[in-house]
Amino acid sequence: MIKRVLTASCIAVMAAGYIQAAPWVKGYVVAFYDPAFRFGGRADYSRGSEIQPGVDCPHGSTVHFAVPSQVAQSLSLVPWRTPQEVEAIASPPANGLTRDPAGVYFHTWRAASAFRGYRRDIETYINPFAAEDPGEPEVTSRIGEGFNLDGKIKPDDFVSPDGEKGIDNELYRAWGCDSPWRGPDGTGTLVLRSNDKMLEGLFTIVVRISGNKDPMNDDEATLEIGYSPDQIMKDARGNVGVDYSYRILKSEQYTKLKARVKDGVVETEQADIHMPEIAWFYNQLRDAFFRQGRIRVTPNSDGTAAGLVGGYRDFRDVYTQNVFTQAGGVQGVREHEDHIALYYALRRHADGMLNPKTGRYDGISCAYRLKLVPAFVVDPDKPMGIPSRESEAGRKKAFDETAAATVRAVDTLVVQPVPPDSTELTPTDGIAIGIGGVPLRGRGRGYGENRAAADKAKTASPQPDRP
């Protein structure tokens, strides 16, 4: 009798051990993707106004290119602008161009904002160092999301919401008060815009976690993250659907990491990470390269999960990705942000990736949030690269050339010309600034000494803005 009991017990233990050692896989598709900027204002805030103070931003969001007084303040830093020109541009006369005052402001401000350097002919979104810093308010809160990337606890580091010290997220400090990225629960205008485009099929990100032990506790797990060529599927209510299948491409924008699972929470090793970048236009689809990065996945009770990815990103990539989607002036005036101010904020808070040639840091610590929905993540039938869209090849080439010119400019501090096909020279509205700040029609973006740009603009076919 005793022998039988012992045998049964042994069989039970062996069976349990076998079950725990069985291979397991979990898959997710990213349903929401935004910078980990912690909103410190009222929880019930809605975007009726862009001025919403909080512990993160005591004076609220930035109002660059939102009101005439702010425009006048920025343009007063331009050495070759007269006070009369500044006033005329900040509060431009209609001059028969349009009866819509907002339209006059938009066209005039975006044309004038692109030329604020120490000479009239310097395009300053490509050469931001050539303009004076208009000032970008930095986050003052001590609470921030992210990781301790350098293994140190410094006096100015953030503290995570759960009390961990030494959090490195200088991108949050630099850009957390920027209007289109700020708001509760990811309600910033660019956050909503980029996620809307992602859900419409612009790009897809998937995560696959696997191991051979207990899926709740496995110290030899693997996490993969990367681009999928499959559009995100929605359910009947318009939400991201559960348990659809997606392929993961093991080419560019893909990373495989060692991971550890403890009580269901997945923590990866610290290593370089490649994955898709936040984007809202095809031309800016890029690899978000996180140096010394880490990923954490925390499961929710409903089967979804919260993801956090962080590391050091090249601040020049962060800058160009935000400014050159269309043109710097278009983006700045539409979103009420000043990319010159954002450039200086990035430069000021860069804290990683020391460049031995320049003696300056090229990297800025950052973190991004991911909302994950259960999915089946599978390998494609045969290896494949990220599909390209031939119809958008010209715009992507122009974006890449403009970004490359900007990198050369900020590295060398030598003014770079605008690439021939760049959107920075495309006369999308046919308006330039004339004498006294009066808008002119049919002169392109070139004015002052920038005659070559103006001549090109006269003969170019206008290209309408994209939504």
pLDDT tens per residue, range 136-162? 999 999 999 999 999 999 999 999 999
pLDDT in tens, 96-133: 555 466 677 888 888 889 999 999 889 999 999 999 99
Domain boundaries, the chain: 24-35+142-176+187-378, 68-134+393-459
Nearest-5° angle of CA 200, CA 205, CA 206? 125
Average pLDDT value over all residues in the chain = 86
pLDDT in tens, 421-443: 898 875 444 455 665 555 554 34
Instruction: Categorize the per-residue pLDDT at 63 as very low, low, confident or very high, splitting at 50, 70 and 90.
Output: confident
Closest CA to 273 of 319, 229, 231, 227: 227
C-alpha of 406 from chain center: 17
- Predicted TM-score (pTM) of the model is 0.87
Spatial distance between the Cα atoms of 170 and 136, rounded to a whole number of angstroms: 14
Distances (CA, A) of 65 to 100, 239, 338, 396, 444: 17, 35, 7, 27, 20
Spatial distance between the Cα atoms of 299 and 286, rounded to a whole number of angstroms: 28
Work out the average pLDDT over 297-318. 98
Q: Find the helix packing angle between 339-349 and 328-335, rounded to 10°.
A: 90
For residue 27, is pLDDT > 70? yes
